[in-house]
Amino acid sequence: MTVAIDAFGITDTGKVRKGNEDNFLIVEIRKSVEVRHSSLAPDLLGDRFGAMLGNLFVVADGVGSGPDGDRASGDAIKAMLQYVGEAVGCFQSLTAAKEHELFDRLEATVCKVHEALASSQGFTSQAPATTLTMVLLIWPRAYLVHVGDSRAYVRRGGRVQQLTQDQTFGEYMVTLGAWTKDQAAQSRPGATLTSAVGGPQMQPVVGLVDIEPGDSLMLCTDGLSKHVTDDRIAAVLGEATTSEAMARTMLKEALDGGGTDNITVIVVQTEPK
């Protein structure tokens, strides 16, 4: 089945922070051959050269302040883009064995960035670090890599499901049953990351979900999720409008809710052609 992908990303400093340490990336992955001129009609060549192989969506939220946080999130984004450039050929036919290799290479890429960032300041809490949430969409499968407390959601049939689990002290306490969700949200130590690329500890989580035509995806940093509820996310993603309009609505609501952090959001819609 041929599916149309409508994706849009936006980032904002917010109302409190002086600089923006968030970064995001949206990439269309295509074959490297470009037809410049031919006696054959373009529609006869479209499935052979320049055909879509997949899409890459990444958000990253630098930890700390100043240029170090921005550098950390930027380095993570650039590493994911480099990985896709080097591995583009393997996206054409993903068998079960190749899927395993794909996950291994994605995790290895994240680990390389982690080691480069952490070793720059001796694996201390002051080292530049970043969250990372990435979806590699090779229809119909979405491959996920996640570190930290940025999030990925999927909307299907009017319901929204969070695909990632925040790697924070608060979420850890909730998992233990020691805190409620409200207690974790209200506790300042609860926001402390237990895993970050470049941080003292880093535990990437990988996974996959099959996407259906009509599903929507959303990736965001915690600057959005701390101010916009899951119910509101579901409502906005259900609107009959473009991904750009949805992303801008999400940003506005996060700003109206306080804008206490940098805000980044990517919205992806899928529709059958």
Q: What is the pLDDT of residue 39?
A: 47
- Candidates 262, 214, 57; CA nearest to 146 is 57
| CATH number assigned to the domain covering 3-158+196-272 | 3.60.40.10
Q: What is the pLDDT of residue 100?
A: 79
| Domain ranges across the chain | 3-158+196-272
Query: How confident is the prediction along the chain (273 residues), in pLDDT tens digits per residue?
Result: 678 999 999 999 999 999 999 999 999 887 665 556 554 566 655 544 456 678 999 999 998 655 688 889 999 999 888 888 777 666 666 666 677 788 888 888 899 989 888 887 655 556 789 999 999 998 899 999 999 999 999 999 889 999 999 999 999 898 898 888 888 888 888 889 999 999 889 999 999 999 999 999 999 999 999 999 999 999 999 998 999 999 999 999 999 999 999 999 999 999 987
pTM: 0.90
Q: What is the pLDDT of residue 181?
A: 83
Contact call for residues 176 and 93 (beta carbons, < 8 A) = no
